[in-house]
Amino acid sequence: MAKAAGRAGMDEAEWATRVDLAACYRLVAHFRMDDLIYNHISARVPGAHGHFLINPYGMAYEEITASSLIKIDLDGNVVDDGGQGYGVNHAGFVIHSAVHRARPEVDCVIHTHTPAGMAVSALECGLLPLSQTAMFFGKVAMHEYEGVVVDLGEQQRLVADLGDSQAMILRNHGLLTVGPSIAEAFTAMYWLERACQAQAMAMACNAPLHLPAPAVVELTNHLYKPTTRRPFGLLEWPALLRLLDRRDDSYRL
């Protein structure tokens, strides 16, 4: 078993966040939502205003460990490179710094390029309430494609489109979810991905689609709110960590 102790001199809250974020990377890979060395997941550093953790650009998701994560500020300056010799994906900095700056209640941001997510991002209709899983989301924001996200000028439009939503479809690009914790952001992405998979499969049948009544969609979404029945995301997280620990607990290093 990997030893879960933090690096010498590191704040315990930051180390706990690093472990959870490394776990999130491993889980995204486990559920086949990664994309070689690309895409990014970030988490705000507890108690450190303006600092967040992100993956080293060049490592696969299944290689990420708590100590390898890079700490940067909202302007993209590296605070701690994890000693791995890697830099940061510029597009990751542009997207994640924009959200962390605009949404102080958001502790985690996840962005993916899955086939199902890209497929739905290319549909004019966006995500439809075809499945119970899709109804988890009260609204899914949309952001128009402007090319590879390297222009800082896009940040304002991106966060304006995101608004106060938990999920956003980046047109012709992929998916993005946010959450007040790593656990909640991951669960949102897992369900958004599953909803996109179900929609892509249903539409591929080339048969009429059945949409539930708007009142039923609204009721279902209400039942999924964390204050209605149970805290989705937080509830599943310990089980997900146990899943990882049974397979490979090196993310804790």
pLDDT value at residue 151: 86
pLDDT value at residue 230: 76
pLDDT tens-place string over residues 130-156: 999 999 998 899 999 999 988 899 999
Task: Please state the pTM of the whole predicted model.
Answer: 0.92
Nearest to 210 by CA among 138, 140, 131: 131
pLDDT value at residue 118: 98
Sheet (strand 108-112) strand order:
78-80, 70-73, 51-54, 40-44, 108-112, 174-179, 167-170, 141-143
pLDDT value at residue 2: 54
pLDDT value at residue 6: 63
- CA–CA distance from 203 to each of 79, 142, 172, 175, 189 (Å)? 46, 20, 17, 19, 21
pLDDT value at residue 28: 98
pLDDT tens-place string over residues 74-117: 998 999 887 778 989 888 889 999 999 999 999 999 999 999 99
Q: Which residues of the chain have pLDDT under 70?
A: 1-6, 8
pLDDT value at residue 212: 96
Taking the C-alpha atoms of residue 138 and residue 227, their distance in angstroms, rounded to an integer, is 14
